[in-house]
Structure 1
């Protein structure tokens, strides 16, 4: 059993001011700060100019936020690792249900997120940037978001689709130039009001990452957006569709993209089959039902403890977009309590987190 600390932080102000707050927090966490920086003059100026322009177009405000961070920490802006990692994780299971499928009659988006705790801030934050939608979301590389819900009642979460793409050891090289998922998600949370706007945004923005993106809004619409090597497709469910449920793990489920997939892991198929069976076995389900699915150990459920191999549950989440609240655990839901967050949750908090490191089964990464 490993013990660590997770955080809930609030950031308000214009983009530069939020960057200053991030910088002050990072200065209080020297090891985290060190992991977020590159040495001076390492990142090529031409690439910095390209990613700066791309972010200004599709996720405006982040460059100013990073400048505030850099000025506070005392570095050049190009030393922020976010830039090198964003211009172009592994696990994750996604569930979205319309009101007709839930006992409360609410629209729900739920997910488990699997990765390694040593490469995560383990911080869930409230961010209110001037002139943009305020949002609750999980921080990635300080300036990105891995999931979240905004004040309009739009929720979003992602899972890698196929082998992870990125500028890191073991990552697949991007087939097209574009943004990482954490920049896309932040762009959605700060600029889109509903599922349709988010899908249109995703179809327009250049995306270098291979991902499944699940979306839900308080009007009752849900959608799955998929991207593989720049090829995109989406499926949207509304009040006119017979289906009321969507799921995705780490492979393509939309017919249009299946031919572009290079690798499918057996564990991804098993997890998605579990979710589909969970849905078909119930006319309607409750949040308690979802928590049981998220908490049950693989292969009978979605919870994994393989942190040493980048596949440990770092957070389990239920976004109730109808009620405007998020229930989540930091770390495995088998060992840690569920916490409730709303847009009134603006007091910084720390949480002691238990991570039950387990040996990865030999056949876990079998390729189909």
Structure 2
């Protein structure tokens, strides 16, 4: 059984950090400290702090709240949670964007998964809903302006000194109201690894930003399919040696999405445990943990945890209006493939 907690954050970012420090202490997140220490052993804290002051003072303030609540040095918290100059295992993700919605599977290990869906409404930034990673980061999400962003791992061998994609997704959601703003901002942030970022907004347009530490290439398409490899000729040498699985997922999606299908039908294609888009290699860091459909025009989200999960629909708009009764958790079933 996989249990995803629903977290609500409102107010200033220091308060976000304090609230989440309590969550870390009392949940499985505290067990991740040893793992995070190993991954961030060589991180340049001074440089990370200086870059956050430029690119996201909100995140720096939130890290201050975490430090206070956990009774730890700010430098240690920046090293563990900022996502700057940090190693990270491989992961997989598949996304599809059309005029009406953005649907995606996130594939990784439950042991390193935050298992948190966060509704946040900061004083200085756009409100959003999204799945967290390393507490302050986001795997995917949608903000109050209808901007949706998700990450897709490509390669961790071509590394630079920069931020994890999870931190970058969080920055984009909090600061950008459109594809145009997201493309402009993402080009100014130092990237640590090779990732694709799939993005849409109220326009229904789809865009993939293929990003390496040295260069970003932008592709527009509608509809748009994004998996875990670069397609730009100038970046293909940055791909992993074997990208056939990523290519096959993209080809499969292209074959079934020849006709207009509803968000629920798309959800079912992604969440079906027997689908070529759904994976069960959890011990190998490649098992599907959540399926999510973001609906920018109505600011709602359809969610399933694990496989063949009855979808749950939640509203960011109602959350902001104070009329949404959010559940405490979403539960689902995962089965390791033998």
Per the normalisation by structure 1, the TM-score is 0.82
Other-structure match for 1:90: 91
Contact kept in structure 1, 2:8 and 2:120, CA below 8 Å:
yes
Name the counterpart of 2:336: 357
Match of 1:293 among 261, 269, 275: 269
Deviation for aligned residue 1:328: 1.1
Q: CA deviation at 1:229?
A: 4.2
Matched, 1:234 2:209: no
Name the Cα RMSD after superposition: 2.1
- Structure 1 position 348, deviation (Å): 5.5
For residue 173 of structure 1, report the CA deviation from its aligned partner.
5.8
1:59-70 paired onto structure 2 within 5 Å: 59-70=56-67
The equivalent residue for 1:116 is 109
* Counterpart in the other structure of 1:144: 137
Give the aligned partner of residue 224 of structure 2: 246
Contact 1:13 1:128 in 2 (8 A): yes
Local SS of the residue matching 1:271: helix
Mapped partners of 2:199, 2:26: distance in 1 = 35
Matches within 5 A, 1:1-368: 3-29=1-27, 31-36=28-33, 47-80=44-77, 82-83=80-81, 85-88=83-86, 89-98=90-99, 106=100, 108-161=101-154, 163=155, 165=156, 172=157, 174=159, 176-237=160-221, 244-279=222-257, 281-282=258-259, 284-297=260-273, 300-332=275-307, 334=308, 336-343=309-316, 344-345=318-319, 347=326, 349-359=328-338
Q: Which runs of 5+ in 2 are unaligned?
A: none
Structure whose CA Rg is larger: 1
CA distance in 2, matches of 1:323, 1:232: 31
Give the Cα–Cα distance (whole angstroms) in 1 for the partners of residues 95 and 80 of structure 2. Answer: 25
Counterparts of 2:266 and 2:80 in 1: how far apart (Å)?
33
The CA deviation at 1:63 is 1.5
Verify the 8 A CA contact 2:121 2:127 in the aligned structure 1.
yes
Q: What is the number of residues matched between the two proteins? A: 325
Q: Distance in 1 between matches of 2:177 and 2:261?
A: 27
Does the 8 Å contact 1:122/1:330 carry over to 2? no
Cα distance in 2 between the residues matched to 1:309 and 1:260: 22
Structure 1: give runs of 5+ residues left out of the alignment: 99-105, 166-171, 238-243, 360-368
Q: Distance in 2 between matches of 1:69 and 1:354?
A: 31
The runs of at least 4 aligned residues of structure 1 exceeding 4 Å deviation read none
1:92 is paired with a residue whose SS is strand
Q: More deviation in 347-356 or 319-328?
A: 347-356
| TM-score, reference length from structure 2 | 0.89
